[in-house]
Amino acid sequence: MTINKRRLKHNVPLFIMFIPIIVYFAIFKYAPMAGLIIAFKNYNFTDGIWGSAWVGLDNFKLLFTNPNMVNILRNTLVLSILQLVIGFPFPIIVALMINEVRSNWFKKSVQTAVFLPHFLNWVIVGGIIITIFAQENGIINYFVKLLFGDSFPFLYRAGSWMTIFIGSGIWKGAGWGAIIYLAALSAVDQSLYEAAGLDGANRLKQIWHVSLPAIQPVIFIILILSIGNIMEVGFDQVYVLQNAVVSNISEVISTWNYKVGINGGRFSLATALGFFESLVGLILVLAANGIARRFNNGLW
C-alpha cells in the first residue's frame, strides 16, 4: 500500500496534465453520442431531440431499401480498401528511405518536402489537381494534345479518376504518416545495424531484418486503426474531386450524408447511416485487433 501511495503521489502532476484531455473527450466525443437517439426518431427542429416522435428502426429500413444505398456502400468500401491496400505502405517506405539518408541537410530537406502537403487544405489540393488534369486547359492535357492531337478526360473516366483520388491521398498524407514511423526508427539501437553489417548484411537486409521488425508493433497499431476507419472515406477529398460524370463511383457515405441528410434536412436518416458506419467500424477494429493479438501485436 505504501509503494502504491508513493507512486500515486509521484504521478499526481501527470494526472493533472491529463485532465484537459479527459474533459475534451468527455465534451466533444462522448457527450455527442447521446444524439444517436435521433436515428430512432423522426427528428424535427420544432420538437427537438427528446420531443420528436419515436419510429424505432424505420430510418434504417428506409436507408437499406433505398436503391442507391448498395452503390454508395460499394463505393465507400472500394475506395477505402484501395486507399488502405495501396496507400498504407507508402508512409512506411518513405520513413525507411529517409532513415537511410546519412546527410542531415538532405534528410531535413526531403522531410520538409514530403511533409508540406499535409498542411494544404483539400480545397487547395483539389484546385491543384484540376489545374493539372483538367481536360480543356490542364497542364497534362497540354502535352497530351501536342503528342496525340486530342485531350483525355482524366477527371471524367472512372479508372483515371480513382487513380487520381488514390494518388492525391498518398501525396498529401504519406509525409505525415511517415513521422510516426520515423519516431519509432529513431529508438532503434544503432548497434543492431553495426552487428548486422559485421555479419555481412547490406543496407536492404538491414532494413528487412532490423528496421522493419523494430517498427512492426507501430505498423500493427496503425493498421488496426486504419481498418477501423475503412467505412470513412474522407469527405473533403471526395467532395472537391467528384463531379456528376463519375458520381456512380464517387458517391460515398459522407457525401450522401451531406447532400441528403444535412442539405436535405433528413437528419434522422443521416444519423442512422452514421450509426451504421460507426458500428461496422467497431466490428472491424475488434476483428483486426483479434487477428493482431495472434501475432502479439494487439492494442489490448
Give residue-wise pLDDT tens across range 96-148.
Answer: 999 888 888 888 888 888 888 999 999 999 999 989 999 888 899 999 998 88
Q: Which fold has domain 68-293?
A: MetI-like fold (1.10.3720)
User: What residues does each domain of the chain span?
Assistant: 68-293
Give residue-wise pLDDT tens across range 211-256.
Answer: 999 999 899 989 888 888 888 887 899 999 998 899 899 999 999 9
CB-based contacts of 85, cutoff 8 Å, min separation 6? none
pTM of the full predicted structure?
0.85
The DSSP letter of residue 74 is: H
For every residue of 205-269, DSSP letters joined together read: HHIIIIIHHHHHHHHHHHHHHHHHTTT---HHHHHHH--GGGHHHH--HHHHIIIIIITT--HHH
